[in-house]
């Protein structure tokens, strides 16, 4: 589990974009690490645990 502190400005669109980029990068990093563990369960399982943002 990761904890992040994100400083946000006054532009809501920019804030949302930066936060979503951070989340997607974290999901990509973690999905690479878990790919080997999930592969033993089969393709159907891997598809159900794929994060929506990826």
Domain residue extents for the chain: 1-54
Buried-state track 17-54, b at ≥16 Cβ within 10 A, e below 16? eeeeeeeeeeeeeeeeeeeeebeeeeeeeeeeeeeeee
**In this predicted model, what pLDDT tens digit does every residue of 1-54 receive, in sequence order?**
677 777 888 999 999 999 989 988 888 888 777 777 777 787 777 677 766 665
Q: Are residues 46 and 38 in contact, defined by beta-carbon separation less than 8 angstroms?
A: yes
pTM of the model: 0.56
């Amino acid at each position: 589990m990761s904890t992040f502190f994100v400083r946000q400005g006054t532009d809501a669109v920019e804030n949302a974009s930066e936060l979503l980029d951070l989340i997607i990068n974290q999901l990509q990093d973690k999905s690479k690490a878990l790919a080997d563990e999930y592969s033993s369960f089969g393709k159907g399982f891997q598809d159900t645990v794929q994060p929506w943002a990826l």
